[in-house]
Amino acid sequence: MSKLKCVVFPSLLMAVGCANESTPGAGGSPSVLQQGQEFVSISRTVSSDVSKTVAALQPKALPDANAPQSFYLAINKSELNQKYFLSAYGKQAYPFTSYGAPAGAATSLGTRVVTFRVQNGKLFVFDVQDGRATSDTFDPTLIIEAYPIVEGYAPFDNLPGSDDYVLFDPAAGLNRFGVVSDRYASGVAPKHFQVDLSYMQNFRRIHDGTTFEQVFTGTLDDTAPGNPDALGGLHTVSGTLGIALRHYSEGEGFTPSPMSSFSKPYFVNGKYFTDPLLVKNGGSSMNWAIKWNIRPGMKPITWVISDEFVKAQRLYPKYDILGAIKAGIENWNEVFGFRVLEARMATPEDSYADDDKNFFIYDADPGFNTAFANMRVNPNSGEIRGASIYLSQIFIKLAIDTFDPQPGASAVAAPEARPASPEITWGGLRSARLCNLWGGSMAEAMENVRTMEAHAGSGGTPAEKVSRVLAEISLHEMGHALGLMHNFKGSLVPLPQQNSVMDYLLRPDAVDGNRDHPGPYDHDALKLLYGMSTQDPPQPFCMDDDVWSDPACGLFDRTEDPLEKHWGATYRELLESHLKGQLPLSGVRDGFINATAAFLRAGSPLDQERAWKLLDGPLAIGVDHTADEAAYPGYTARMSTFQNVLLNRLFNDPVSMRGNITNNPVLTGETLTKFVTTLKSVIVNSDGYRGWKTRRSAVDVLKTIQVQPAHEALSQARATLAGANPAAGSLEADLIARIDAATHPYYIK
């Protein structure tokens, strides 16, 4: 990664190219309607009462004091029946249950392909996306909006050329550009949002259309009866939307890629961002893989880095934050062999809500502790038309805390997720965020790192390590923005290498494995997506859905054998420290217990055998612990207590405590034999170390697993206990009664 400090950042300080250069709205200029523009803003006066009300209700999303007055829009009659992209982007949100990014800011609400027609005093907007017809018979005409046409407005009527335009009010549509009124329509019972005030600002002409912003405030009705998602009551909600109307176009030479053409879901499915395309007369639907129009000789895709990163650079001058973000963007160029991506710093004229900008957004509030990528997509083809990436300050803090902790500073705690507002929708489309890398899970992973002291041998200075981590996180999110899904088997290689930055990597591995550059899988997958190869990536692959069923599809794991060399090995180290009294019970972290147990729950027979050996090894029956007890008083009591914890975690604890894979283990073969033999010996306390709670739990587990060997083990344990003639009312007698209750009957079904 290049050493790129704020003071030597010339390539990021260049102005945006002329093709995207904005020009101010012409307002009431005498010749404005004679220039042939597609859309023209016509200034209108907004009452002071409206401005004051908006300001009072929306302190976090005020109308821009420097923005032009609110306006009507005039559409050139020659543009009626022409196809346009209509896009909306959440710029600000405040509040409902939350505000800012958790409430939908920094997220695209989708893109529609539309056309315009005039009838009955309204400008109608029709959805003309491909793939709406189910057959030759059923091809619906879809109206998505209607704006009142403004008549008798002298400042417009008196302009030369007004006869060539239709003047309408964009703030007074039936559904406020189709994005506000149903903005919160999610859950079992959709919530109705009533727009009370709407204010237009920041009209801007761009090379292929127009963009502007709509500030709104209104009331959310969250009192629907029988709605389990309802919090109850009426809520004031406000926000700012960036809206774009741009000529419909498809990239020169762009070739769509059907998702069905790929053997595995390596790539982002268009269903996340667009409606499915119906196959006419086919009785089915299809989706595209989403991708950019990348080809040799293209103009590089510019990414704008928020100037808020400059403030972060000044706050943390020791670390090359700007260089890390730039590397996370531009290091993907090595996959293509030519310059596809370039980064520049934002100027005061840039907004992350601008539809013609690709923006890397920085949020100095660590409260919403996540990072995510978001795209704007042509629904007809899957071509990515723009994208943004959001990064919370928490990742800078966590990287510093892990690799360069400051004297006297306390460790960054795993942040709690801020509650999110209802999911944003727009006429059936839902906002889609790829990844949502949560700072809480990363903080837990970093605590695991500190526990293992795995970064002790990492190369480079602490400052270099922090910068590499930030570059890897940026590279990961940029991989999503290029069209890659996660690959949570990207870490299944010997250390220090990694196959993919699309895994969630332990931060030391991101440093040692040189993961501020795309990995072998990333190269192979992107070449397949962009037509540079016809071969599937040969590396192991799994994605988000597999996390819940495949124990090798782990987050923040490492090595080619994570069971033996990462989860299980560290679990054993922590458990042995606890048994010696050197670590509290809580120090045997749930993540290592659950991830090791996942191989017992869902692994192959060999993995199950290995997992049980790792889990039970330090607790095994029949080992003489006299020396351990003498050296570490309380050793055997802690051993029994932890065995009880383990048995309950495997079978009795709520699923919320079990990690990603939550089913009870279904054991077979040699593993089943060893398991029931161990539990039978625990029940009878054959080595004298097992406490009553552990023995009772062993009875309960043998009942739960519902197999003949377990039933036989219970019967044999009862015979052993009964042969000792326990006194009436003794704990042994109680244990016998518990076995009787478990075996009469034994089988539940």
CA angle 572-578-582, nearest 5°? 125
Rg (CA), the chain: 31
pLDDT surpassing 50 at residue 56: no
Output the CA angle 341-347-350, nearest 5 degrees.
80
- Binned at pLDDT 50, 70 and 90, residue 696 comes out as very high
| pLDDT given for residue 32 in this prediction | 83
Grade residue 525 by pLDDT with cuts at 50, 70 and 90.
Answer: very high
Residues 406 and 471 in one domain: yes
In this predicted structure, the answer to whether residue 339 has a pLDDT above a threshold of 90 is yes
State the residue range of the domain holding 47.
Answer: 31-249
Q: Which residues contact 124 (CB under 8 A, 6 or more apart)?
A: 116, 117, 118, 143, 145, 146
* Residue 153: pLDDT band with limits 50, 70, 90: very high
Residue 674 has pLDDT above 70, yes or no: yes
Residue with tokens 């890659």: 484
From 148-152, 445-449, 519-523, 646-650, the region with the lowest mean pLDDT: 445-449
Task: Note whether 532 and 597 are same-domain residues.
Answer: no
Which range, 53-57, 454-458, 543-547, has the best average confidence (pLDDT)?
A: 543-547
Range in 136-140, 144-148, 257-261, 512-516 with the lowest mean pLDDT? 512-516
Q: Which residue has the tokens 């996340």?
A: 272
How much is the average pLDDT of 517-544?
A: 96
Q: Both 326 and 185 in a single domain?
A: no
Q: State whether 576 and 534 are in the same domain.
A: no
The tens digit of pLDDT for each residue in 271-306 reads 888 888 999 999 999 999 999 999 999 999 999 999
Q: Is the peptide bond before 496 cis (omega within 30 degrees of 0)?
A: yes
Q: Average the pLDDT over 680-685 and give the result.
A: 96
Q: Is the pLDDT of residue 452 over 70?
A: no
Given 208, 232, 249, the domain boundary residue is 249
Predicted local distance difference test score (pLDDT) of residue 64: 46
- The yes-or-no verdict on residue 631 having pLDDT over 50 is yes
CA distance 613 to 591: 18
pTM of the model: 0.87
Q: Are residues 566 and 473 part of one domain?
A: no
| 445 and 409 assigned to the same domain | yes
Question: Does 195 map to a domain?
Answer: yes
Q: What is the pLDDT of residue 5?
A: 30
- On the question of pLDDT at 221 being above 80, the answer is no
**Is the predicted pLDDT of residue 625 greater than 80, yes or no?**
yes
For the chain, what percentages of helix, strand and coil (3-state, to nearest 5) are there? 35, 20, 45
pLDDT of residue 70: 82
Q: Residue 29: pLDDT above 80?
A: no
| 157-184 per-position pLDDT tens digit | 999 999 999 999 988 876 544 445 555 5
The reply to whether 519 and 576 lie within a common domain is: no
| pLDDT of residue 460 exceeding 70 | yes
Percent of the chain whose pLDDT exceeds 90: 58
Which residue's entry shows tokens 């909600």? 237
Q: Are residues 94 and 54 in the same domain?
A: yes
Question: Which 3 state secondary structure label does DSSP give 436?
Answer: strand
Q: Residue 437 pLDDT > 80, yes or no?
A: no
Strands 358-363 and 384-392 come out as parallel
Confidence of residue 431 (pLDDT cuts 50, 70, 90): low
What's the confidence (pLDDT) of residue 189? 57
How does pLDDT run across 66-98, given as a tens digit for each residue?
Answer: 444 688 999 999 999 999 999 988 898 887 666
Q: What is the mean pLDDT of the chain?
A: 83
Picking from 49, 50, 53, 31, the residue whose alpha carbon sits closest to that of residue 40 is: 31
Residue 557 lies in a domain: no
| Burial 411-441, CB ≥16 within 10 A → b, else e | ebebbebbeebbebbbbebebbbbbebbbeb
Please check whether residue 662 lies inside any domain of the structure: yes
Residues 6+ apart with CB under 8 A from 63: 51, 54, 55, 199, 201, 215
Separation of alpha carbons 120 and 116, rounded Å: 13
The reported pLDDT for the residue numbered 66 is 45
Same domain, yes or no, for 540 and 588? no
| Local confidence band at 618 (pLDDT 50, 70, 90 cut-offs) | very high
> Does residue 45 lie within any of the structural domains?
yes
Query: Are 142 and 408 within 8 A, CB to CB?
Result: no
H/E element, 109: strand 107-119
Which of residues 379 and 96 earns the better pLDDT score?
379
Nearest of 151, 156, 85, 144 to residue 117 by alpha carbon: 144
Residues 179, 245 contacting (CB under 8 angstroms): no
Same structural domain, 198 and 321: no
Tell me whether residue 289 is in a domain: no
Kindly state whether residue 144 falls inside one of the protein's structural domains: yes
Count how many domains the chain has.
Answer: 3
SS3 (DSSP) at 122? strand
Last residue of a domain, one of 205, 226, 249: 249
Q: What is the mean pLDDT of residues 34-43?
A: 90
Supply φ then ψ for residue 49, to 5 degrees. -65, -40
Q: How far apart are CA 359 and CA 105, in angstroms?
A: 13
Three-state SS across 367-408?
Answer: CCCEEEEEEEECCCCCEEEEEEEEEECHHHHHHHHHHCCCCC
φ/ψ of residue 181, rounded to 5: -60, -35
Residues 423 and 571 in one domain: no
Residue 114, exposed/middle/buried by CB under 10 A (0-12, 13-18, 19+)? buried
* Predicted local distance difference test score (pLDDT) of residue 513: 53
- Separation between Cα atoms, residue 270 and residue 378, nearest integer Å: 9
3-state secondary structure 581-626: CCCCHHHCCHHHHHHHHHHHHHCCHHHHHHHHHHHHHHHCCCCCCH
d(CA 749, CA 743): 13
Average pLDDT over residues 318-337: 96
Give the pLDDT score at 179: 46
Domain annotation covers residue 552: no
- What pLDDT digit, counting tens, does each position of 551-573 carry? 999 888 888 999 999 999 989 99
**Is residue 497 a part of any domain in this protein?**
yes
Residues 590 and 659 in one domain: yes
pLDDT at 96: 63
Among 181, 216, 249, where does a domain finish?
249
